[in-house]
């Protein structure tokens, strides 16, 4: 019958749009973008989201451009021995500076705020100074490359507090923290788990700590994606 077909089609439309809307709203809330539903706030939120997307796109573009540059450099280096030498030196220096992804064996430390964390109990949260101390201990134990949530720790990296997140290399990084450190796994593990070590102290504040050894040379520490600028520094003769 005609009317049933039309009612059915309209129900089909409603069910489709409910499903799409449900999934969209689910997506916003699970991604932590929106919790309050108010049409008046939408535009601002949308702009923030758009900016985020734009930022991600631009940093992707930057990475593409960098890898392109790398390829071009390699290609041009193939022409002469001199250039080859320079290219080798350049890549070696980049590796030392932290401009290349590196991998090797090492350990992964996962730090999570205590379940019953509150702002008044300082020991239940992971702070910037905790991360700083851990990085310090890792370097002291012979770590060769460290990253925290994908942010490479360089010679001039600053780790500081930024409200409820931590700022590393001027990028906001939030809990849970995953610290990748390349070095001798047993040595690093031993240094991090020693009695009265820093992680031992943190564990007393109910912070969840998990340390895994990676023995198969596959632990990746990503490169630093920003630029290092030296304006005032000169070589002293």
- Catalog residues that contact other proteins under the rule CB under 8 A: 1-25, 27-28, 33-34, 37-40, 42-43, 45-46, 49
CB of 25 to other proteins, least distance (A): 6
* Torsion angle (degrees, nearest 10) of CA 96, 101, 104, 107: 100
Structure tokens at 170: 């001027």
CB of 45 to other proteins, least distance (A): 6
CB of 40 to other proteins, least distance (A): 6
Taking the least distance from each CB to other proteins, the nearer of 16 and 156 is: 16
Taking the least distance from each CB to other proteins, the nearer of 40 and 233 is: 40
φ/ψ (deg, to 5) at 152: -70, 135
Taking the least distance from each CB to other proteins, the nearer of 53 and 218 is: 53
Taking the least distance from each CB to other proteins, the nearer of 23 and 230 is: 23
CB of 171 to other proteins, least distance (A): 24
Do the beta carbons of residue 94 and residue 100 sit within 8 Å?
Answer: yes
**Cβ contacts of residue 28 below 8 Å, gap of 6+?**
34
**Cβ contacts of residue 103 below 8 Å, gap of 6+?**
182, 217, 218, 219, 220, 221
């Amino acid at each position: 019958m005609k009317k049933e077909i039309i009612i059915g089609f309209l129900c089909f439309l409603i069910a489709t749009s409910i499903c799409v809307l449900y999934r969209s709203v689910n997506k916003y809330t699970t991604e932590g973008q929106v919790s309050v539903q108010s049409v008046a706030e939408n535009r601002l939120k949308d702009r923030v989201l758009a900016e985020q997307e734009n930022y991600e796109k631009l940093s992707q573009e930057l990475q593409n451009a960098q890898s392109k540059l790398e390829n071009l450099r390699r290609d041009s280096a193939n022409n002469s021995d001199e250039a080859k030498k320079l290219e080798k030196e350049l890549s070696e220096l980049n590796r030392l500076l932290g401009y290349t992804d590196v991998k090797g064996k090492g350990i992964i430390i996962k730090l999570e705020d205590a379940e019953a964390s509150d702002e008044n109990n300082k020991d239940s949260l992971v702070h910037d100074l905790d991360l700083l101390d851990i990085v310090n201990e890792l370097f002291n134990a012979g770590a060769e490359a460290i990253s925290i949530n994908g942010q490479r720790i360089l010679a001039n990296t600053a780790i500081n507090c930024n409200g409820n997140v931590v700022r590393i290399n001027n990028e906001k990084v939030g809990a849970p923290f995953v610290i990748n450190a390349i070095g001798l796994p047993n040595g690093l593990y031993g240094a991090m788990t020693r009695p009265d070590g820093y992680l031992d102290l943190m564990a007393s504040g109910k912070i969840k700590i998990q340390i895994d050894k990676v023995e198969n040379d596959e632990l990746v520490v990503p490169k630093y994606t920003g630029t290092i600028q030296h304006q005032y520094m000169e070589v002293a003769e």
